[in-house]
Amino acid sequence: MAKKDKYLVGLDIGSTKTSILIAEIEGEFVKFLALGAAESKGLRKGLIVNLDATVSSIRRAVEEAEGVANVPVEEALIGVAGNHVRGANSRGGIALGPRPRDIEREDVRRAVDAARNISLPEDREVLHVLPHEFIVDAQDSIRDPVGMVGQRLVANVYVVTSSIAASQNLVTAANKAGILISDTVLEPLASAEACLTQDERDLACCLLDIGGGTTEIIAYGGGVELFVTSAWFPSAATISPTILPSACARPLPRPSASSAATAGPLLLSSRITARLKSPALATARLARSSRTC
């Protein structure tokens, strides 16, 4: 393993705080080394409004983390959030041939690529493609079709998109601070990876990531992501019970008929998970799990 591949760095630029975490990869485990944090004044509603102030905040957080870990930060993954993030369901499929045959991992990739091929405005890009289920011929509710036999493979996915300009501004700020961005990660997805168990996702739950400027919401049912949205509050850090219901009044979609038997009706009030976390650590953990898939 090259020296630069030995470390994993997650960067979270928030409305009130910038955090950066350095971890060391040791086989199948990730060892925490340092966490740097600095006040952030360059963002509003999850969007950069002052590039120089954001760059300065990143540099201060990096200096703190580097001083503790004694490791130079050259490359990092960055979290993306804000009300510019959108999600939509999509479906796509491929024919496997005139006769049934074994489904391979490459076939799954092609089916997912077909599902993600949706029409987008010029100012938006795909951030994540999250598979919900696969359908092999007439059989649905399949989590992993590899090794099964069929003639047609269909993928139902949830496509998360973001503003190109908003995401690129985050990358530009990190670049000006001397950090190369290797990938972008949806912050509520990283938070769920760090906070939720598989049982909680199967039973249906809703996770709120309450930040200083925006609050992200991600809902799970039947073990898959069903819904992602962002709400802005005048001060999300001092959110009151009277503000939350009105700001989060958008109804959640019900699970499909195929997942209703296992997930049950998904209601916002069914379960709310809110736990203390480190956004930078969650981003790094999700990136690590994605690399091992």
C-alpha 279/C-alpha 194 separation (Å) is 9
Q: Are residues 170 and 66 in the same domain?
A: yes
Q: Are residues 60 and 77 in the same domain?
A: yes
Report pLDDT for 26: 87
C-alpha 40/C-alpha 61 separation (Å) is 10
Q: Are residues 60 and 20 in the same domain?
A: yes
Alpha-carbon radius of gyration of the chain: 20
> How many C-beta neighbours within 10 Å does residue 191 have?
27
Number of domains in the chain: 3
Q: Are residues 157 and 168 in the same domain?
A: no
Low-confidence ranges of the chain (pLDDT < 70): 1-4, 231-293
Structural domain includes residue 288? no
Exposed e or buried b for every residue in 152-166, given b needs 16+ CB within 10 A? Answer: ebbbbbbbbbbbeeb
Q: Are residues 102 and 157 in the same domain?
A: yes
pTM of whole model > 0.85? no
Q: Are residues 154 and 168 in the same domain?
A: no
Containing structural domain, residue 92: 86-161
Structural domain includes residue 61? yes
Q: Are residues 176 and 206 in the same domain?
A: no
C-alpha 134/C-alpha 132 separation (Å) is 7
CATH number, domain with residue 149:
3.30.1490.110
Report pLDDT for 134: 96
